[in-house]
C-alpha cells in the first residue's frame, strides 16, 4: 500500500511509513486506519526498534489517537522521522516517538479540532462540548512530549501553528533536525482541507438522514393499524338501522369502524331512494358494492313499476326491436287456462 507500509528488518528493527491521510479516505479507500496500522505492526512479530516515517496532512482524530496510544505503550524504541509534514492528528501520532527527527523543510502543524454539524441549538451545544473534550485530549498528547503547559499548547492550537524543524525543536515538539533526512513531496494543504470539508459535509448529511430515519421509525411505531369493528357492534348497528342483511357482509369482510359507518350511511341513502320509488331496498342493498348492478336493478324496478306489462327481468337495452316484453306472470296464467 503506497499510503502505509510496514516491513521488518534486521536486528528486530521495523520500518513503517505513513504517507497520506489518517483514517480511511472516503474518496479513494486509501488511508491509514488504526486497526490496519495495529494489525500490520503486530504481524511483524517481536521488534525492538520502530522507525516511523510520517508524511501526512492528518485526518480522523479517533484513528490518530488510537495509533498514538498504541505506539506510546509499545515496548519498542520509537524513532519518528518527519520527512515532509506531520499536520493535525498526524502531529499527535509523531508525539509517540522516543525521538522525533525532522528533515530540512519539514513542518509540524497543530490546530484545534473542527467539524461540520447540523441540527438544533442543543445539537450545536453538544458538538461544541465534544470538541472541547477532544481538544483537551490533544493538548495532553502534545504536553506528553513537549513538556509545555496546557495553556501554552492551547495558544498554539488557537493560532493554528505551523512549525519549522528549528521551531519545533525549540518548542519541544521535536528532538533534532537532520540535514541528511530528505523531505518528501508535500500534499497541497488547500486541497486536503477542501476534501476534508466535503467529507465532513457528507458525514453531516448522513447524520441528518439517520436522524430522519429514526423519526420515521418513531412515527411508524405510534401509528396503529386500523382495527376491525367488533362483530357484535356491527350486528347491533345494522339491526338498529334495519339493515340486518348488510351485517353479514361487514362481519365477513372485517370492516373497520369507519367502513361500517360509511356503509351504513350509503345503505340508508339507498333505503330512502328505494322507499320513494317503491322498490325492494333489501335487494338493492345486496348490490351496494356493485354500482353498475345497483343502477341496473333500480332502473329495471322503476320501469316495471311504471309499466306492469314490462318484464323486469329483461336487461335494459336488450334490443330495440323488442319494445315491450310479455309479463311472465300473465303468460303463465294464460297457459294454465288452456
Average of pLDDT values for 45-73? 91
The pLDDT of residue 184 is 42
Average of pLDDT values for 70-97? 93
The pLDDT of residue 208 is 66
Average of pLDDT values for 294-313? 70
The pLDDT of residue 77 is 95
Split at pLDDT 50, 70, 90, the class of 82 is very high
Average of pLDDT values for 141-170? 93
CA distance 242 to 281: 11
The pLDDT of residue 278 is 81
Cell of 233: 357492534
Cell of 131: 470538541
Per-residue pLDDT for 150 more than 50? yes
Average of pLDDT values for 141-147? 90
Q: What are phi and psi of 275, to 5 degrees?
A: -65, -40
Split at pLDDT 50, 70, 90, the class of 316 is very low
Q: Decide: 108 and 94 in contact? Cβ < 8 Å.
A: yes
Split at pLDDT 50, 70, 90, the class of 33 is confident
Q: Point out which residues pair with 100 in neighbouring strands.
A: 80
The pLDDT of residue 319 is 41
The pLDDT of residue 69 is 93
Cell of 68: 498514538
User: Is the pLDDT higher at 31 or at 77?
Assistant: 77
User: Is the pLDDT higher at 52 or at 128?
Assistant: 52
Split at pLDDT 50, 70, 90, the class of 255 is confident
**Got the DSSP string for 296-333?**
HHHHHHHHHHH-TTS-TTSPTTS-TT---PPPHHHHHH
Residue linked to cell 520527512: 83
Least confident of 45-54, 80-89, 156-165, 318-327: 318-327
The pLDDT of residue 186 is 39
pLDDT tens, 257-289? 788 788 888 888 888 888 887 878 787 787 777
Q: Any idea where the domains of the chain sit in the sequence?
A: 4-215, 231-306
* Architecture field, domain 4-215: Alpha-Beta Complex (3.90)
pLDDT > 90 fraction of the chain, expressed in percent and rounded: 25
Q: Point out which residues pair with 85 in neighbouring strands.
A: 107
User: Is the pLDDT higher at 324 or at 47?
Assistant: 47
Give the angle 135-139-144 at the CA atoms, nearest 5°: 150
Least confident of 11-25, 121-135, 189-203: 189-203
CA distance 145 to 147: 6
User: Is the pLDDT higher at 97 or at 249?
Assistant: 97
pTM confidence score: 0.52
Amino acid at each position: 500500500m503506497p499510503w502505509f507500509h510496514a516491513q521488518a528488518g534486521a536486528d528486530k528493527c521495523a520500518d513503517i511509513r505513513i504517507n497520506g491521510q489518517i483514517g480511511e479516505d472516503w474518496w479513494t479507500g486509501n488511508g491509514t486506519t488504526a486497526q490496519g496500522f495495529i494489525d500490520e505492526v503486530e504481524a511483524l512479530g517481536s521488534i525492538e526498534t520502530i522507525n516511523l516515517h510520517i508524511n501526512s496532512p492528518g485526518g480522523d482524530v479517533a484513528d490518530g489517537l488510537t495509533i498514538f496510544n498504541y505506539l506510546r505503550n509499545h515496548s519498542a524504541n520509537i524513532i519518528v522521522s518527519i520527512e515532509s509534514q506531520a499536520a493535525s492528528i498526524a502531529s499527535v501520532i509523531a508525539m509517540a516517538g522516543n525521538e522525533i527527527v525532522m528533515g530540512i523543510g519539514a513542518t509540524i502543524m497543530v490546530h484545534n479540532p473542527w467539524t461540520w454539524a447540523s441540527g438544533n441549538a442543543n445539537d450545536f451545544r453538544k458538538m461544541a462540548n465534544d470538541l472541547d473534550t477532544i481538544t483537551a485530549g490533544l493538548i495532553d498528547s502534545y504536553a506528553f512530549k513537549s513538556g509545555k503547559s496546557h495553556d501554552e499548547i492551547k495558544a498554539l492550537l488557537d493560532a493554528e501553528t505551523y512549525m519549522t524543524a528549528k521551531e519545533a525543536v525549540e518548542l519541544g515538539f521535536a528532538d533534532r533536525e537532520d540535514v541528511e533526512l530528505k523531505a518528501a513531496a508535500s500534499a497541497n494543504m488547500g486541497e486536503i482541507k477542501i476534501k476534508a470539508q466535503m467529507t465532513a459535509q457528507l458525514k453531516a448529511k448522513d447524520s441528518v438522514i439517520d436522524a430522519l430515519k429514526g423519526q420515521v421509525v418513531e412515527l411508524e411505531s405510534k401509528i396503529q393499524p386500523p382495527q376491525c369493528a367488533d362483530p357484535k357492534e356491527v350486528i347491533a348497528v345494522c339491526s338498529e338501522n334495519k339493515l340486518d342483511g348488510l351485517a353479514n357482509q361487514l362481519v365477513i369482510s372485517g370492516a373497520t369502524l369507519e367502513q361500517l359507518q360509511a356503509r351504513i350511511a350509503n345503505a340508508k341513502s339507498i333505503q330512502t331512494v328505494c322507499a320513494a320509488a317503491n322498490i325492494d331496498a333489501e335487494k338493492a342493498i345486496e348490490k351496494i358494492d356493485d354500482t353498475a348492478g345497483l343502477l341496473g336493478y333500480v332502473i329495471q324496478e322503476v320501469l316495471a313499476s311504471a309499466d306492469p306489462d314490462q318484464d323486469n327481468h329483461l336487461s335494459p337495452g336488450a334490443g330495440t326491436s323488442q319494445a315491450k316484453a310479455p309479463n311472465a306472470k300473465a303468460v303463465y296464467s294464460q297457459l294454465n287456462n288452456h
